[in-house]
Structure 1
Amino acid sequence: MEKERKPKNIFVQGAITPEKIAQSIANHSTKTDIGGHSIFLGQVRADEKPEGKVVAIDYSAYEEMALEKAFEIREAIFAKYPLTCMHIYHSLGEVKVGELCLFVFTSSKHRNAAMDACDKLVERIKAELPVWGKEILDSDGHVWKVNV
């Protein structure tokens, strides 16, 4: 009997810490059917805008809708790729330049499935998840981030 999957809370308040990433990796050492992992880390850049330089991004989301969409994306990726597990963590609130705002981690028996799934997962998250980033500028202004 297949275990029913339920929506998981993917949101983290503030930056995603290196300790969280290290712990997530360490938690997989007992899963001996995994042969490869693929990890994507999204980091806030100090982009130069006409209005000023980005110093942080303030992320917000329509959380209930975002969690449902993340679940839908996860299920589609699980259906397409032979994965052992998949994790998504996305920041809410302020994340400073140089800090991490997105952590995607896929695992499978073979590396190609993990890498391909991770890439597709990130693309879908960026395109479909109702999460918005307000780029905070050094000029005391802000602009809304456009995902590319």
Structure 2
Amino acid sequence: MQDSSIKHLIANRGTIVLGVAASDAHVVGNHLIAMYLRRQRFDVINLGACTPTEEFMQVASKAERLVAVLIGSLNGHALEDLADLAELRHRYNVSVPIIVGGNLSVGAIKNDEAIVKLHALGVDQILQDPRQIVDAIGRLSIQSQTMSINDISHRSAFLLEEA
């Protein structure tokens, strides 16, 4: 029994809370990202479409071995949907990276204004192209591997004390 729990720690890279912002019903990309993350050995809590910011933070605050919160927005209303992110992130004590990706503002002409405002709301990383998720997850993988090594060390010490 003890060996299987250690194997799970090695096999699993941590938990990612995933979903689509409150006013957005686009879910195809969300499901594809969830599949990709699971193949990368992350546990995924997929909240789906039209998820309020508070639900993201509530679930994140209760998730075990949380690595990141990924929020998609394709309708261009990310700023409005995440307006309460800073306050809710603080209230629920969510300290992992908040990553937002998709079409972040309305209109054909994009500028850095939305990015600056999202960072001001507490977003740690912004993905403007779907291909950027591979690099973002790569960085999370490095962080979670370090976390897994620490977890294994603590768990092994605990198991030795029990013996």
Same fold (TM over 0.5): no
Q: Which of structures 1 and 2 has the bigger CA Rg?
A: 2
Higher relative contact order (CA 8 A, sep 6+): 1
What's the TM-score, normalizing by structure 2? 0.28
